[in-house]
Amino acid sequence: MPAYNAEKTLEKTYNEIPKDIVDEIILTDDASQDRTVEISKRLSIKTFVHDQNKGYGANQKTCYQEALKLGSDIIIMLHPDYQYTPKLIIAMASMISSNLVDSVIASRILGNQAIAGGMPVYKYISNRFLTFTENLIIGQKLSEYHTGYRAFSRKVLETVPILENSDDFVFDNQMLLQTLYFGFQVGEVSCPAKYFDEASSINFSRSVEYGLGVLGTAAQYYLCKKGLSKNPIFQANGKKLLSS
């Protein structure tokens, strides 16, 4: 769980995690200004703290690194803001453990409940536009590229050059496109959308910045696939996480 100022929702998220199949729970705190770390430790969650705010992407890099160090075979990234239901962990893990896919994303678009769940209309429209454009550019048919709820096999995390990615919000999109670029299979499950005051979100200007980054990443993917360009995030010799 990559966390930043999640004191109001962390315990609620933690309580719904299916402990019977989850071996370890990790939280990396990106220099929160609230009681997130205190609550995490009280819940006996393995807690790692950045001494300064490094960004959403950097926080995930720490999360995945620590998960690999623990010997995890399936790693699920769940936001502690309770926007995504932890109850899907079982389904997502099963798809990977059954060798059906290498990665799973929880799509807010499948099931047609995004707006009913509170997703702002402008975000829904931009989500659909960016997803359509990415599918067109890279030749995929995913329902969404922008969910923050993902599961990966250990092999994915050891293969893709995650450390080459941005430390900001576009990290999610870069990592998903890397997973596809290196030939891994990505599955989807429908995930109810939840939007409320305590759920983390980025403002309009940051959303525009993210959108431009998404389009840039898709263009890089296409050019690298065609052999017209080289980019570290799509190079097999790019910087990777250490597996131990």
Q: Is residue 244 one of the residues assigned to a domain?
A: no
Rg (CA), the chain: 17
pLDDT band at 243 (very low <50, low <70, confident <90, very high): low
What pLDDT does 200 receive? 58
What is the rounded average pLDDT of the residues 125-151? 95
Question: Distance (Å, rounded) from C-alpha 243 to C-alpha 226?
Answer: 30
Q: Is residue 86 one of the residues assigned to a domain?
A: yes
Q: Is residue 135 one of the residues assigned to a domain?
A: yes
pLDDT at 57 over 80: yes
What pLDDT does 138 receive? 97
Place of tokens 């047609």: 112
Q: Is residue 242 one of the residues assigned to a domain?
A: no
Q: Give me the CATH number covering residue 64.
A: 3.90.550.10
pLDDT at 166 over 90: yes
What is the rounded average pLDDT of the residues 29-42? 98
Q: Is residue 111 one of the residues assigned to a domain?
A: yes
Question: Distance (Å, rounded) from C-alpha 37 to C-alpha 43?
Answer: 10
What is the rounded average pLDDT of the residues 177-189? 98
- Domains: count for the chain: 1
What is the rounded average pLDDT of the residues 105-118? 84
pLDDT band at 114 (very low <50, low <70, confident <90, very high): confident
Q: What is the mean pLDDT of the chain?
A: 93
Cβ neighbours for 167, distance < 8 A, ≥ 6 positions apart: 54, 55, 56, 57, 58, 61
pTM: 0.93
> Is the Cβ–Cβ distance between 10 and 36 less than 8 Å?
yes
> Is the Cβ–Cβ distance between 154 and 160 less than 8 Å?
no
Q: Is residue 239 one of the residues assigned to a domain?
A: no
Print burial letters for 204-215: b (CB count within 10 Å at least 16), e (below 16).
eeebeebbebbb
195 or 141: whose pLDDT is higher? Answer: 141
Q: Is residue 7 one of the residues assigned to a domain?
A: yes
pLDDT at 210 over 80: yes
Q: Residue 16 belongs to what domain range?
A: 2-234
pLDDT band at 179 (very low <50, low <70, confident <90, very high): very high
How far, in Å, are 25, 34, 66, 68, 154 from residue 243 at the CA level? Answer: 18, 32, 9, 5, 9
What pLDDT does 12 receive? 96
Cβ neighbours for 141, distance < 8 A, ≥ 6 positions apart: 135
What pLDDT does 244 receive? 53
User: Nearest 5 degrees, angle CA 122-CA 216-CA 161?
Assistant: 115
What pLDDT does 199 receive? 57
How far, in Å, are 29, 178, 183, 197, 236 from residue 233 at the CA level? Answer: 25, 7, 14, 34, 8
pLDDT at 66 over 90: yes
Q: Is residue 81 one of the residues assigned to a domain?
A: yes
Strand (E) or helix (H) holding 3: strand 2-3
pLDDT at 193 over 80: no
